[in-house]
Chain A
């Protein structure tokens, strides 16, 4: 079902963005607590 591919790609991209964003946010906060 290739018509489902954009949904899967969107879900994988959003998950990666959320996890990376929080990891970076946490890293920056711990540099200057």
Chain B
């Protein structure tokens, strides 16, 4: 299957390029003055966070269109995007506390951004558990679509939580009105990392979508 092969190649290329991003971030990007080398966690944490949020928005959009159009391709895409989103979500929820310990002095605090991000992650878990629990394909797609839309509604609150509430989490550096507040060398490293995470998201979703197709074909055979 072409989609599966293309997904595998894109994922493999993404993983190779990730090694390149590691080299650039660790050896060729300046060390931030106040946070020291712990700031370099930013180059992984933020792209993963952007894709955690974007994947859920895409799940919500595909789900909303699915409820109107009843096109199984949209349901397959929503499932694939949710599974990729949970991978990036687990990176966000591990690298965040690892950064927080040396900078804040604590692994975790129940402030708005952290708590809402955890809630978004649990939404992903609930979404995939629901899909696993319902055996009827039509009902599964419809129930999952409703939960997917609820998950997407949570994303703006996650993103704007640092503005809406008083929080320990840093204010947006990249996704904000006005230019990014980063020196050029750091911005290039961030953009390269974001590009690689985008490739990995695309590769994961293509493979996961192809897997759903293969399973459906196997069931009908």
Chain A residues at the B interface, C-beta cutoff of 8 Å: 1-5, 7-8, 10-12, 14-16, 18-20, 22-23, 26-27, 29-30, 33
Report whether over half of chain B's contact residues are helix, strand or loop; otherwise say mixed: helix
B208 contacts A15, C-beta separation under 8 Å: no
Q: Which of chain B's residues have a CB closer than 8 A to the CB of A19? A: 15, 18, 87, 91, 200
Chain B residues at the A interface, C-beta cutoff of 8 Å: 4, 8, 11-12, 15, 18, 22, 26, 35-38, 40-41, 44-45, 48, 87, 90-91, 94-95, 98-99, 101-102, 200, 203-204, 207-208, 210-211, 214-215, 218
A23, chain B: closest CB distance, angstroms: 5
A22 contacts B8, C-beta separation under 8 Å: no
- Among A10, A12, A19, A20, residue most surrounded by chain B Cβ atoms (within 10 Å): A19
A26 contacts B38, C-beta separation under 8 Å: no
Q: Which of chain A's residues have a CB closer than 8 A to the CB of B8? A: 27, 30
Q: Which of chain A's residues have a CB closer than 8 A to the CB of B204? A: 22-23, 26
Beta-carbon nearest neighbor of B210 in chain A: A30
B40 contacts A8, C-beta separation under 8 Å: yes
B94 contacts A7, C-beta separation under 8 Å: no
With A15-B95, A18-B87, A22-B87 as contacts: A4 and B45 at CB distance below 8 Å: no
B91, chain A: closest CB distance, angstroms: 5
**Complex: A27 Cα to B210 Cα, angstroms:** 11
What are the 5 closest A-B residue pairs judged by CB atoms, nearest first? A1-B36, A33-B214, A4-B38, A11-B41, A11-B95
